[in-house]
Structure 1
Amino acid sequence: MGGTAVVVGGGIGGLAAAIGLRRAGWETTVVERGGGPDDAGAGISLHANGIRALDALGVGTAVRAAARPQYTGGTRTPGGRLLTRMDGAALERESGTPIVGIPRAVLHRLLRTALPAGALVGGAEVTSVDRSDASRVRLTAGDTVLDADLVVAADGVNSRLRAQLFPGHPGPVHSGSTVLRAITESPVELRTDFELTWGRGAEFGHIVFADGRAEWHAVFNSPAGVRHPDPLAEVRRRFGDWHDPIPALLAATRPGAVLHHDVNELVTPLPSYAVGRVALLGDAAHAMTPNLGQGACQALEDAVSLAAALRAGPSVESALRRYDAERRPRSQSVARAARRAGRMGQQLSHPVAIALRNGALRLAPSRVTVRAILRHADWTPPRPD
């Protein structure tokens, strides 16, 4: 089965969906509102399930070559005391691949490279979707009208298409946290590939890239919409006296490079990821908090599963029902687990609760951490019937 498809949104999930659809025989166009995602100046960790999805899309080898494996790391207190150790080698033995870190801009570039010239249409914001014709879907983007046999809504946490398809859904809500993050301007000497530090209602973490630069993120409890005139100065105020190498990471950062986003999520799960000939994918379907590092990985799973379902057919509607049945239970379960992880991790602020959590973490063997990661990363791409 094939036809014409329009993917709305040119982020990781949208680009991956377009690659998968083209490999399944669909003529696919990606419509992107801006010049690129607003998080392109950040980094990302990809777990085994994300890497397997990229392999299924034919870009896994290129991503591995550009990424850095994460073998060393763990979780610490602000004073530097180790709470848990991440055994990256054990993870690789169990899953067949290590967790890897890569700049988002590099991942976006590799995904775009896998698409033919002209497949991406930039500067076009989809303003409406018309499903009155049961055999086609019509999208309006400014003065442009696009007709397609299939539409993939991959337009992010604030998805306009989701709001039109589910007008009674409350949409995304603020998680109670905000994140400031940046990539260092130059390489930084670091003792670990990956690290998290938990304080009272706050988290600081870093991942190292293949070129020696690092991405850091600072997450803390905050009302929505609060912005700081000098974001880097605010991070220094909150985290500057935490253990090394946090001061060094901040010192290697250009002030203008700091991104600031409130962490929003879909707390109310969608009743379906498919409406007629429209499929929802990635954050548009299941925006989750970043506490498990699974947001992009789940979007990549979506992309592979959608393409496999459409290969199997026999119709677009039946394929999308299969996609929904496969993806909605798993991705919504991961989203709930991410929310729980945030409440017990970064968002925890009561001193007694923090002391109890830290004590439990110090006593847990490293294999417990490995099992916790594998619980969500254990996924194999589907085989079409």
Structure 2
Amino acid sequence: MTHDVIVAGVGMIAFTKPGANEPYPQMAAKATTAALADAGIAYDKVQQAYVGYVYGDSTAGQRALYEVGMTGIPVVNVNNNCSTGSSALYLARQAVASGAAECVLALGFEQMKPGALAAYFEDRPSPFDRFEQITDELVGNGEVPLALRYFGGAGLAHMQQYGTQLSTFASIRAKASRHAANNPLALFRTVVTEEEVLASPAVWPGVMTRLMACPPTCGAAAAIICSDEFARRHGLDRSVRIKAQAMTTDRAVTFEARDMREVVGFSMAQEAARQVYEAAGIGPQDLDVVELHDCFAHNELITYESLGLCPAGGAEKFVRDGDNSYGGKVVTNPSGGLLSKGHPLGATGLAQCTELVQQLRGKADKRQVEGARLALQHNLGLGGACVVTLYERV
């Protein structure tokens, strides 16, 4: 038997630059407390917890939740790179849908260091060794940090095949800043123009400028996931449910296609979206709002195509026609996305969830997408995993 799954409460804290943050237990506790308050329940009603983070020692999830309460419930620590938060959400949804639990917490947090992402365990094989090898073969440019080569290389492949202009990626970043200006929880709220993005320092000349990349960020976000029956019994808000969800990982095409877009998960995202659309009986044309994984402006552009928001090769036109913002076909990243809101790896998926739940409740204030009924979330982690979640206003 499959139970309807409700998102009864969400909460997050304002994202900050590394060094300006509180320690992770305090950040996580504040996000959890906010989600519990939003749901209107006490922590002792939570039966399981799935806690995501990337940079931290084992059982940091327990340490974080001990700030909220010590009730003896199962706490499962989750690490799936940048898709960690939505992987925790995926597990929480499964627990409720299967009937294993009635009320579950999904929590994500990250206490990051300044600078580019780096490996911590250098005495063993890297989970990215095959990704690094194919990237070296396809784009070289070893002086550029690896994450920039991954996603910059994917954008470059789109530029080479379709003639996409660097200014189009700049337009995506400018759009993110306009959206974030209305989000009090975003890290960067200053509006920048397309021209300012192009004029920012080049991190890969002709391919990427600094403002086209998301910043390292600290923060936390959480969601209370429960069955419809539990929500009814406790008088909780039942207006938003998870209608469909899928997680995919890499297939052979990731390396065999010899295409940087595949290296960064194009087919993973495409397949996860296909499964979600099929399960829900909808198409991308039915979506009102999307929060997608814009770790780089380049990834936002290719994700438009992998999610079916526009046809293959149609992303530049999609951007230039304004179809990715208010007044267009589907509002993407009303929160400001990772580019402006920030990207604390373990928290990102649950921050996306928080934004979309508020949108479907009609409580997103100046960011509100009018009449939003169906909302899609896309969260990607290289190495790899992609989680796509469809929320519905009931």
Which structure: greater strand fraction?
Answer: 1
TM-score by length of 1: 0.30
Say which one has the larger Rg: 1
Greater RCO between the two (CA within 8 Å, min separation 6)? 2
